[in-house]
């Protein structure tokens, strides 16, 4: 199945586990995406366009920017 997607790699700040995940572009740009850490099972909010967790749409870029952090691409 050839669905447009993103590959995310990040380190969980709770348990320091580094993991990679594939998410669809449709889900990221139009839905709500949560990723569970394989180490501690904490859930990380990646995007929320359905406004489940916030009054406005948010993405990992806006969440990190509010903390003074950046997303590294590539």
pTM greater than 0.85: yes
State the pLDDT at residue 43: 98
Residues of the chain with pLDDT under 50: none
Q: What gap in Å lies between CA 53 and CA 70, rounded to an integer?
A: 21
Assigned domain for 49 exists: yes
| Domain enclosing residue 53, as ranges | 5-66
State the pLDDT at residue 73: 87
Assigned domain for 71 exists: no
Alpha-carbon dihedral 27, 12, 63, 61, rounded to 10 degrees: -60
Assigned domain for 72 exists: no
44-53's contacts with Cβ under 8 Å and 24+ in sequence apart are 44/10, 44/12, 46/8
Assigned domain for 53 exists: yes
Number of structural domains, the chain?
1
Assigned domain for 25 exists: yes
State the pLDDT at residue 38: 98
- Would you list the DSSP string of 1-39? ----EEEEEEE-TTT--EEEEEEEHHHHHHSEEEEE-TT
């Amino acid at each position: 199945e050839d669905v447009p997607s993103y590959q995310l790699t990040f380190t969980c700040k709770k348990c320091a586990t580094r993991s990679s995940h594939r998410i669809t572009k449709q889900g990221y740009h139009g839905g709500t995406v949560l990723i569970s850490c394989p180490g501690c099972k904490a859930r990380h909010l990646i995007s929320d366009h359905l406004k489940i967790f916030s009054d406005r749409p948010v993405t990992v870029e806006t969440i990190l920017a509010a903390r003074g952090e950046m997303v590294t691409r590539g």
